[in-house]
Amino acid sequence: MVFLYTLPLLRAAVPGWFPPIMGVVLAAGLCAPHLACRSRPLVGFGAVVGAFGIQLVLGVGFLPADVMLCLALYRVAVRRSRQISVAAAAVVALSAVLATVRWDDPDFGTPELGSTLVLVVSVWIWGSMIGVRRAYVAALEDRAAQLERDQENRNRIVVATERARIAREMHDVVSHSLSVVVVMAEGAAVSVRSDPDRAEQAMRTVENTGRTALLEMRRMLGVLRDGGPGSEAPQPGLGQLGALVDDARASGAPVELTTHGTSRALPAGVDLAVFRIVQEALTNARKHAGPNLTRIDVHVQVDDAAVEVRVGDDGRGPSTGGRAGELSGGHGLVGMRERIAAYGGQLRVGARSGGGFEVSASVPLGRTA
């Protein structure tokens, strides 16, 4: 558009000896570099300044296409650094001064030069403001992308943590249930001929224990399926301790349960942690207490301050066999400690006063309310 507007005014601006075609080329040299200013502002700016310099050398007067100097300066101010854009503005201002001296036109004197310099400064300020705004928007977009990447990383960590939790849950379920199944199967095999009714009762217990184990495993694996069946199923807690003890008794373990204040509603995580601790402690007692085991005491007390859990037996203690090593290095104790530590509690395992072994845990409720 500027190029077409300039063409009719070439005859008045160029000297008489100047070929008309050269005026058209000069106007094109001022306007065409604008096409390169979008992608390469410095290259376009240099081409426009070079064309304007040729215009001054040849003695060509003011052309409407000379406004392309300001437009090229705007592109540089938007796309390049402050130092480069200031230098470009200085070049345009110097070009305006040289044009005033070279043209010696009464219609283009000091007032016009001052207006031109004000225009140059205004174009530079406007371009710089646009450049700062674009840089700010680009920084916000980068920040948003970084936050999205961080969120994805956190999501992956959460998934990995959840999978580890499920693995511990599956260990607890499988270990407890299989120990019951093995004990009951052994008892059924011994009494199948001498006492068929007792053998049948033992196999019924095996069946019920297996069903319960499958149900819990399906519930836990449902967590791995987004919105899959069972992912919202409730986890066991203090309300299921009675059934847990009954299963242990059915397998031949002499378990006595004592509870105080267990009717109080607990946070879901604490409720599940207490259940799993009792479950794991009963499993270890059946596995490692030895043949002289005559009693397993389970005591659970809930008050306003904490939940106290003690599971003790009168079997062999930690110093008379592999039991201590099993507890210290196996997954059972690791799982219990992680559960208790997650709620700021304490776990103690070791010899029981008067003989035997005891698992004792305390979970403060103030930190989990």
Helix (H), strand (E) at residue 185: helix 110-191
> 122 CB contacts (<8 Å, ≥6 apart)?
none
**249-258 pLDDT, tens digit each:** 887 788 999 9
Q: How far apart are CA 271 and CA 278, in angstroms?
A: 11
| Short-list 242, 244, 243, 223, CA closest to 233 | 223
**92-104 pLDDT, tens digit each:** 888 888 877 776 6
pLDDT for 225: 57
151 lies in a domain?
A: no
> Exposed, middle or buried, 58 (CB in 10 Å: 0-12/13-18/19+)?
middle
Contact between 229 and 214 under an 8 Å Cβ cutoff? The reply is: no
Q: How far apart are CA 205 and CA 53, in angstroms?
A: 101
60 lies in a domain?
A: yes
As for how many domains the chain has, the answer is 2
Q: How far apart are CA 342 and CA 102, in angstroms?
A: 83
- Coil/strand/helix, residue 26: helix
117 lies in a domain?
A: no
pLDDT for 322: 44
pLDDT for 17: 57
Residue 351 DSSP label = E
Q: How far apart are CA 139 and CA 160, in angstroms?
A: 31
- Coil/strand/helix, residue 308: strand
Tokens of 295: 């009693």
Q: Are strands 357-364 and 346-351 parallel, antiparallel or unpaired?
A: antiparallel
Q: Is the dihedral of CA 103, 107, 113, 119 positive or negative?
A: negative
Q: Who wins on pLDDT, 143 or 27? A: 143
Q: How far apart are CA 217 and CA 195, in angstroms?
A: 33
pLDDT band at 270 (very low <50, low <70, confident <90, very high): confident
- Point out the domain boundary residue: 108, 135, 162: 108
pLDDT for 319: 57
| For range 179-186, the mean pLDDT | 77
pLDDT band at 299 (very low <50, low <70, confident <90, very high): very high
208 lies in a domain?
A: no
| For range 40-53, the mean pLDDT | 84
27 lies in a domain?
A: yes
pLDDT band at 231 (very low <50, low <70, confident <90, very high): very low
pLDDT for 344: 83
| For range 241-248, the mean pLDDT | 87
- Give the HSE-up count for residue 238: Cα atoms under 13 Å, Cβ half-sphere: 23
Q: How far apart are CA 335 and CA 120, in angstroms?
A: 73
Q: Who wins on pLDDT, 73 or 174? A: 73
> 63 CB contacts (<8 Å, ≥6 apart)?
6, 9, 10, 13, 26, 27, 30, 55
175 lies in a domain?
A: no
Q: How far apart are CA 145 and CA 151, in angstroms?
A: 10
Contact between 313 and 307 under an 8 Å Cβ cutoff? The reply is: no
Range of the domain at 75: 2-108
- Point out the domain boundary residue: 81, 108, 135: 108
> Exposed, middle or buried, 194 (CB in 10 Å: 0-12/13-18/19+)?
exposed
| For range 282-301, the mean pLDDT | 86
> Exposed, middle or buried, 247 (CB in 10 Å: 0-12/13-18/19+)?
buried
Residue 265 DSSP label = -
| For range 288-314, the mean pLDDT | 88
* Stretch among 15-19, 39-43, 127-131, 182-186 having the lowest mean pLDDT: 15-19
CATH number for the domain spanning 335: value is 3.30.565.10
256 lies in a domain?
A: yes
- Point out the domain boundary residue: 87, 108, 129: 108
**Residues recorded for the chain:** 369
182 lies in a domain?
A: no
Tokens of 302: 């809930």
| Short-list 1, 24, 52, 61, CA closest to 44 | 52
End-to-end CA distance of the chain: 73
